[in-house]
Amino acid sequence: MSERSAAGGEVIPLDLTRRRPRRAPGSSRSAPAGGAATGRPRCGAVTADGRACRNYSGPSGRCAVHAAATSAGDQQRRIAEAARPDLPPLKEWEDAVAGVLSFLRRRLTGAYPVDLYGFDRELTEQVIAPLARPLYQRYWRVRTVGVEHIPDDGGVLLVANHSGTLPFDAVMTKLAVYDEHPQRRHLRELAADLALRTPVIGPLSRKTGNALAHDDDAIRLLSAGEAVGVWPEGYKGLGKHYRDRYKLQRFGRGGFVEVALRTGAPIVPVAIVGAEEIYPIVANVRPLARLLGLPYFPMTWQFPLLGPAGLLPLPSKWVIEFGEPISTASYPPDAADDPMTVLELSDRVRDTIQQMLYRTLLGRRSVFF
C-alpha cells in the first residue's frame, strides 16, 4: 500500500515488529505507590472499608473529603475539652478535706479562740461569710462605693441608716467591709439587747462579732482599734412604713457621738440603698407586737398574703456607700459632756447620710435592676 491514499490523507504505518515489554512475574498493573507515575502524593487516610484512599492529597496531607472530616473531628474535640470542668489537682482535694476535718475537730473539742465578747473569727470567715456571700453577690448584687474611706487600722465608728424589717442591712454591711476593704477588717456591730437574747440568733450574733449596744462595750472596742458599726435609728428605722422609706428617723440622744468623742475615733457615715424594698411594710399590727413582746409586727406586700413564701425577701439591687470620715480629734476632751456639741455632731452625721441617700436614689435606674 502506498504511503498516501487516493483521498490524499496520510496513513500511519503499522510496525508489527514492536512489542510491549513483558511484565516481570508478580508485578502489579497499578501505578507505583505514592502517585509516582504522576508525581502527586496520594491521601494517607483509610476508607471505611479499610482500604487506602486513592484520592490525591492536598496541603494538609489528606484529600478534600478526609481533610473536612478531620477538621470537624478536631472542632468537636476542642468543644468537648472546653466544656470539661477544670478539676483541681488531687493534692488540692486532699488539702481541702484535711482542712474541713481539722475545722470539725476544733469545733467538737472546743479548741478555737474567742475574744471577750464571744467573737469567733474562724467560724465567721469559714462558715458564716461563705453562706451570706451568695445573697451579697447574686441575690441583692450589692455594689460598694467609697470603701477606701475606712482607715486601714485603728478605731473607727461606722454610722448607717437602718431599714428592711429584718437587719439584713447590718449583715451585708459587715460582709462588704470584710470582702471589699483591702485589709479585710471585721466590723464589730452594736446590737440591741433583744437581738442578743433571741435563741439561736443571739449566740450566732455574738460569734460573728456583735456586741451589746452600750457605751462601755463600744468604747472598749474602739480603744482596742476595732471597726465598730452602729445603726442609731434602731427599731424605728427597721419597722417604719414603706411610705417613709429613705427618710431617716431620729438618731436618739447621740450616744454614738459621745463614744466617738471619748475615744477620738473618726465617724464614717454609711448610706444603704436597697434594703427598704426587701420587705415593704404596709401595716404594723401593734396589739400582736405587744402580745409577743416585739417592737413591731409587720405586714408586708408578701406576708401574710403569700403564707410562708412571703418570708422570702424581694431581690432588690443594693448600693452601700461609705462617706468621707468626720474627724473628732479636734474636739476638746470634755466635748462628750457638752449636750450641744453632741447634738450638733449627731445632726451633722444624720444630714450627711440623708444627702448620700438622696444622691444615690437620684442615680438609681430601677429598684430591682
3-state secondary structure the chain: CCCECCCCCECCCCCCCCCCCCCCCCCCCCCCCCCCCCCCCECCCECCCCCECCCECCCCCCCHHHHHHHHHHHHHHHHHHHHCCCCCCHHHHHHHHHHHHHHHHHHHHCCCCCCCCCCCHHHHHHHHHHHHHHHHHHHCCCEEECHHHCCCCCCEEEEECCCCCCCHHHHHHHHHHHHHCCCCCCEEEEECHHHHHCCCHHHHHHHCCCEECCHHHHHHHHHCCCEEEECCCCHHHHCCCHHHCCCCCCCCCCHHHHHHHHHCCCEEEEEEECHHHCCCEEEECHHHHHHHCCCCCEEECCCCCCHHHHHCCCCCCCEEEECCCECCCCCCHHHHHCHHHHHHHHHHHHHHHHHHHHHHHHCCCCCCC
Among the four given CATH numbers 2.40.30.170, 3.40.1130.10, 3.40.50.150, 3.40.50.720, the one describing domain 115-127+139-278+313-362: 3.40.1130.10
Model confidence over 325-342: pLDDT tens digits? Answer: 999 999 998 999 999 999
43, 36 contact by CB (below 8 A): no
Cα–Cα–Cα angle for 10, 15, 18, rounded to 5 degrees: 145
Grid cell locating 353: 447620710
Q: What is the mean pLDDT of each run of 10 residues along the chain (369 residues)?
A: 48 52 52 51 77 78 73 63 62 80 89 93 94 97 98 97 96 98 97 94 96 96 97 96 96 93 97 97 95 94 91 97 96 93 96 98 94
Q: How far is CA 123 from CA 104, 178, 207, in A?
A: 11, 14, 7
105-123 residue pLDDT tens:
998 988 889 999 999 999 9
- Cβ within 8 Å of residue 342, ≥6 positions away: 253, 254, 257, 258, 261, 335, 336
Smallest CA-to-CA distance from 275 within 353, 367, 205 is with 367
Q: What pLDDT score does 38 carry? A: 52
Could you tell me whether strands 267-273 and 227-230 are parallel, antiparallel, or unpaired per DSSP bridges?
Answer: unpaired
Centre a 10 Å sphere on the Cβ of residue 95 and count the other Cβ atoms it contains.
12
311/277 Cα distance (integer angstroms)? 13
Please give the grid coordinates belonging to residue 347.
445632726
Domain ranges of the chain: 115-127+139-278+313-362
Return the C-alpha cell found at 208.
Answer: 460573728
Query: What is the structure's pLDDT at 6?
Result: 45
Distances (CA, A) of 315 to 49, 107, 238, 279, 312: 62, 34, 18, 10, 9
